[in-house]
Chains A and B, each alone.
Chain A
Amino acid sequence: MSTTTFIRNEDLKGLVADLKAAGVGVAGPARTTDGAVDYRSIDRFEDVVLDAQPRTSLKQFFLPPTEPLFKYRREGSDVAILEMPAVQPPRVIVGARPCDAAAVEILDRVMNWDYKDEPWFARREATTIVAFACPGGDRSCFCTTVGLAPDSTRGSDLLLAPAGDGYVVEVVTPKGQKLLDAFPKRFGAGPGVDATKAYRDKARASVDGHVPGSPEVIRQWVQTHFEDPFWSEIALRCHGCGGCAAVCPTCHCFDIVDEPETLTEGTRRRNWDTCQTALFTVHASGHNPRHDQCGRCRQRVNHKFAIYPSRFNEVLCTGCGRCARVCPAGQDVTEILTRIVAMATGQGGAA
């Protein structure tokens, strides 16, 4: 689909109000109590902040940090299972970053691989993603290296880019069209996509070239250098805090726990997990195949740039740069990838 339309700034405010009035949940990037910007529920479009990358990604709306899978109750020698609701309430995310929208679609692959992850897809179906073309990033952004761009439509239902007194709206999916059809008065004639070219070009220039080379070059090096001393070297500064995984739009590993609440009842939950901790791989015997941080740092790069691409033909990274921004020890994915590219292309890689 490639039809376009236009929405004026005033109508954008009105659209959010219309959605709220229709009982649809709306979320977008807004200020948190500590002054940061993060995706959260909003009451009005005026609270949306578009000029800062949200602290965390959209992942939380589809894979919450914790979610009940079912409740259980022991009844004599039987166990009764109380299923969670299979249908999720409708929600529109207004002001998603294109990199975050793309991440959700990249994750659809693994979520529908050996089984269909019902909670994930229930939320996917209930959610419409209205992305805004990114105004540009900082030195840790590298979406263009992994096949995306500040104005990628991937994973979005609508993509908006600023022009004149509003936004040019690209209709990306039938779900996006449905949103248009539900509130037709909010959309109308205006400038075309050409009017957003300067904005898009500027954004692209701000992220281009931060990681030279291609994902394929990275994949080949990573696959053939499992024991390279490079991994031990980069792991030195890593605290194994997993902050990178918490803010990552594509890190999706989870743990499943049963939590008793009374003597006979409890809840099975799934919670975010991260390969950066020792506990992630420790066996019941006590043996840990990833016995120190070197193997864990390697795993993060390996999964994103070799394992996932080999299995799904997708890089498990959107180049959003959050892991570099959040790292308390200054670990920087652009530096790691740049060095890998240099080693792969025979230009050395020493620090």
Chain B
Amino acid sequence: MTELRELARRLLSEGTVNAVLGWEEGPRGARPAFVTDAAGADRLIFDPRCVHNLAAYLSPRRPHLKQLGKVAIVLKPCDAKAVAGLIRETQVPRENVVLIGVRCGGVLADPESTEPLSEATVADRCRGCPDREAKLADHLVGTAGPGFPGPSHRAQKVEELAALPADQRWAFWQAEFEKCVRCHACRQVCPMCFCERCLADKTMPRWIESSPHNRGNFAWHVARAMHLAGRCVDCGECERVCPEGLPLGLLTRKVAQVVADRYDFRPTDDPAVPAPVGTYRMDDPQEFIL
């Protein structure tokens, strides 16, 4: 933590950046912090409660963050994949941001947790994660724990659902979508949902009904998952933020598996790896084209 604070203090006092985005101690556990002066660097923390994907704050859809000027951002290896995604999709110029990687051996499921990090308390998405540090980072700080073995419960649940007959799978999602109130919190926290005007907000014509009935909810969640194909970094923020507890990660995870199987693409923090959606290869599977 000293290393992180020292670095943040230096970047701020030397004028390399105007603000450092990291984590601080909030009233209810760890939370995002926006440090704008060197003296504030001591507010920064990093521990297993720092679950948030701060890359979302780099999205151009947040004009109120432009007031900060040039920023440095603290990243776990998984968060770096989202930054790489934003660079790959030309939303963030690489030279406009300083990346501080923190080495990571897994985080807790809940930023409010007071439990030590263990097999029982680790965030499900961290199970089987092989990444300990972000290769994309300009600076690397801290030490990483050994990580946790996979597979994640989510991956297992995806397998279970895939094995069900279609009508039972349909019934499962009907029951889940029933709970959705269409607040679109899943979209708002997603670092990769950066559209200035979302498809779901368009009314001429209305592509996706805004009403939280099963018809509208199904259209929304399927469209969201499809738009994240080959783009979702599996940070789990959509599922964490959902005020109704929908297991949204199951959808994005499933789509990610299909993209991995068919297009050999996995989320990476290397922005030079082309996005599958924007790439055509002669050997792309195309048997679905009639």
Chain B nearest CB, measured from A33 CB (Å): 7
Q: Is the CB of A279 within 8 A of B201?
A: yes
For residue B154, CB closer than 8 A to chain A, the reply is no
Partner of B243, one of A235, A243, A332: A243
Q: In the complex, which residues 145-203 of chain B have their Cβ closer than 8 Å to any Cβ of chain A?
A: 175, 179, 181-185, 188-189, 201
Q: Is the CB of A241 within 8 A of B175?
A: no
Q: Is the CB of A32 within 8 A of B245?
A: yes
Q: Is the CB of A236 within 8 A of B183?
A: no
Chain A nearest CB, measured from B168 CB (Å): 15
Contact with B along A12-40 (1 / 0, CB 8 A): 00000000000000000000111010000
Q: Is the CB of A277 within 8 A of B184?
A: yes
Partner of A329, one of B52, B68, B175, B244: B52
Partner of B211, one of A36, A66, A332: A66
Q: Is the CB of A239 within 8 A of B56?
A: yes
For residue B276, CB closer than 8 A to chain A, the reply is no
Q: Is the CB of A140 within 8 A of B189?
A: no
Q: CB-nearest residue of chain B relative to A286? A: B197
For residue B209, CB closer than 8 A to chain A, the reply is yes
Q: In the complex, which residues 218-240 of chain A have their Cβ closer than 8 Å to any Cβ of chain B?
A: 232, 235-237, 239-240
Q: Is the CB of A332 within 8 A of B32?
A: no
For residue B30, CB closer than 8 A to chain A, the reply is yes
Q: Is the CB of B64 within 8 A of A330?
A: no
Q: In the complex, which residues 50-82 of chain B have their Cβ closer than 8 Å to any Cβ of chain A?
A: 52, 56, 62-65, 67-68
Partner of A328, one of B65, B181, B189, B211: B189
Q: How many chain B residues have a CB neighbour from A under 8 Å?
A: 42
The distance in angstroms between the C-alpha atoms of A274 and B210, with both chains bound, is 13
Chain B nearest CB, measured from A88 CB (Å): 19
Chain B residue numbers with a CB within 8 Å of A324 are 27-28
Q: A66-B211, A242-B184 are in contact. Are A326 and B243 (CB under 8 A)?
A: yes
For residue B213, CB closer than 8 A to chain A, the reply is yes
For residue A294, CB closer than 8 A to chain B, the reply is yes
Interface residues on A, range: 35 or more
Contact with A along B25-40 (1 / 0, CB 8 A): 0111111101000000
Chain B residue numbers with a CB within 8 Å of A259 are 206, 209, 211
Q: Is the CB of B27 within 8 A of A139?
A: yes
Q: Is the CB of A325 within 8 A of B64?
A: no
Partner of B212, one of A236, A237, A271: A271
Q: Is the CB of B64 within 8 A of A246?
A: no
Chain A residue numbers with a CB within 8 Å of B62 are 239, 292-293
Q: CB-nearest residue of chain A relative to B180? A: A65
Q: Is the CB of A274 within 8 A of B183?
A: yes
For residue A272, CB closer than 8 A to chain B, the reply is yes
The distance in angstroms between the C-alpha atoms of A241 and B185, with both chains bound, is 4
For residue A334, CB closer than 8 A to chain B, the reply is yes
Chain B residue numbers with a CB within 8 Å of A335 are 26-27
Q: Is the CB of B27 within 8 A of A246?
A: no
Q: Is the CB of B63 within 8 A of A292?
A: yes
Known: A243-B185, A330-B27, A330-B111. 13 other contacts (CB 8 A): A139-B28, A237-B31, A241-B184, A242-B183, A243-B242, A243-B243, A293-B64, A294-B64, A325-B28, A328-B240, A329-B52, A330-B30, A334-B27
A-B contact pairs, 5 of them (CB 8 A): A65-B212, A139-B27, A140-B28, A246-B243, A277-B188
